[in-house]
Amino acid sequence: MRVLLLLMGLTAMAAAQDDDIVWLDNYAEAVKTAKATGKPIFLEFRCEP
């Protein structure tokens, strides 16, 4: 469970601390951005009930 929390915290920290990493919350927008930039997509599914 500790590793899971670490990974979840890590990606959250990325959004908070690093201006270069922007976490989108819309899949269609991610695909559109990937088409425009040529970058691959790093997609995270997270359960946050």
Partner 1 sequence: MLSPKDSPLGKLLRQYVTVRIIRMDAIDIGLFEHDRNNTIYFYILNADEQIYLRYGGRDNASPDTYLNLDSLTLAAAKGLELHANRPPAPPRPKPDFPKNYPLLVERTFARNQCVECHLIGDYQNLHRQLDGTLDKMTHLYRSPDLKRVGIFLDVPQGLVIKEATGAAAAAGVQPGDRIAQWAGKVVWTFADVQHRFNETPRKAREAHLTVERGGKMVEVTMALPPQWWWSETKFRQSSVEPRFYFDDRPLTAAEKQELGLPAEGFASRVKYVSSTARTMELHGLQEDDVIAAIDGKRVDPDAHTASLYLILRKTPGDAATLEVLRGGKRIEMPLKTMQMSFRK
Q: What residues line the site for partner 1 (CB under 8 A)?
A: 1-4, 6-8, 10-11, 13-14, 17-18, 20-31, 33-35, 37-49
What minimum distance in Å lies between the beta carbon of 16 and partner 1? Answer: 9
What minimum distance in Å lies between the beta carbon of 12 and partner 1? Answer: 9
What minimum distance in Å lies between the beta carbon of 26 and partner 1? Answer: 7
Residue 39 in 3-state DSSP? coil
Structure tokens at 24: 């989108």
Structure tokens at 3: 């590793």
Residue 18 near residue 25, CB atoms below 8 Å? no
